[in-house]
Amino acid sequence: MTKPTKAKTRPQRNPQRSRMGSPTVNKAEAARRVKKISPILKKAYPRAKIALEFVNPLELLIATILSAQCTDARVNMVTTDLFKKYKSAADWVMADIKQVESDIKSTGFFRNKALSIKGACTKIVEQFDGKVPSTMEDLVTLPGVGRKTANCVLGDAFGIPGITCDTHVIRLSRRLALSQNSDPVKLEFDLAEIVPKKSWTHFSHLLISHGRNCCKARKPNCPDCPVAEHCPAANKPDLW
């Protein structure tokens, strides 16, 4: 006669953890945390700003499209000559697609990026009188432009508050328990509720600067982190 097997019991979930492994989020507490860490990060990164180099909205739009799966440093190297060659949306429209691909090849995924740039500039010329639109509603109608790119252009080219949810903002928002969402759009709306609107653009740059310099993906430098005392994930590898 076989012995009855014991029923397996599942380990109980820690109520202080979310299903994704990040600390649970309370919006009121998250808003207070933003208020506490913002001045600290401003002091730590007084020159926090967008790393992409540009002089007008079109250049930033192109640079942001090129930055997908590519470092900002590489994009800046490429656009140094690129923006001397293509100075208007019409220049991009008239350019041969193969030539554009060749000009941007070192940024990676150059075929898709060339199509996006050509498509976006064609719509800018045909529907927006050759000027980059300055609203979220219009920007996201351009080929290759999602909310992340649109917020970047709005915030840094037009001075209209926008939250840019790149990989650093996503990672730090979860570690700091500002949001449990890793989806950029859902995260954007979460942060919009707890960060003062006038600070949206700069807060994004502060998180990006902190992500690049201290709170890195594989090994955050918690011992030297200026906001560690306000971070639920500080010195807790299981929450990284």
Q: pLDDT, tens digit, for every residue of 189-240?
A: 999 999 999 999 999 999 999 999 999 999 999 999 999 999 999 999 888 8
Q: Specify whether 98 is catalytic.
A: no
Alpha carbon distances (Å) from 141 to 56, 122, 163: 20, 12, 18
Q: How confident is the model at residue 22 (pLDDT cuts 50, 70, 90)?
A: low
Q: Where are the domains of the chain?
A: 57-157, 162-232
Picking from 234, 98, 85, the residue whose alpha carbon sits closest to that of residue 172 is 234
**pLDDT reading at 69 higher than 60:** yes
pTM: predicted TM-score of the whole model, two decimal places: 0.87
Q: Specify whether 238 is catalytic.
A: no
Do residues 20 and 174 touch, judged by C-beta distance below 8 A?
yes
Which residue in 113, 148, 156, 190 is the catalytic one? 148
> Average pLDDT of 106-129?
98
d(CA 37, CA 44) in angstroms, rounded, equals 10
**pLDDT reading at 3 higher than 60:** no
Question: Phi and psi dihedrals of 233, rounded to 5?
Answer: -100, 0
pLDDT at 24: 79
Question: Can you name the residues that pair with 23 across neighbouring β-strands?
Answer: 17
Q: pLDDT, tens digit, for every residue of 144-154?
A: 999 999 999 99
> Average pLDDT of 119-143?
98
**pLDDT reading at 6 higher than 90:** no
In this structure, the dihedral spanned by the alpha carbons of residues 120, 153, 164 and 199, taken in order and rounded to 10 degrees, is -160
Do residues 206 and 48 touch, judged by C-beta distance below 8 A?
yes
- Superfamily name with CATH number, domain 57-157: Hypothetical protein; domain 2 (1.10.340.30)
Candidate from 19-28, 47-56, 102-111, 116-125 with smallest mean pLDDT: 19-28
162-232 belongs to which CATH class?
mainly alpha
Which residue in 42, 105, 166, 216 is the catalytic one? 166
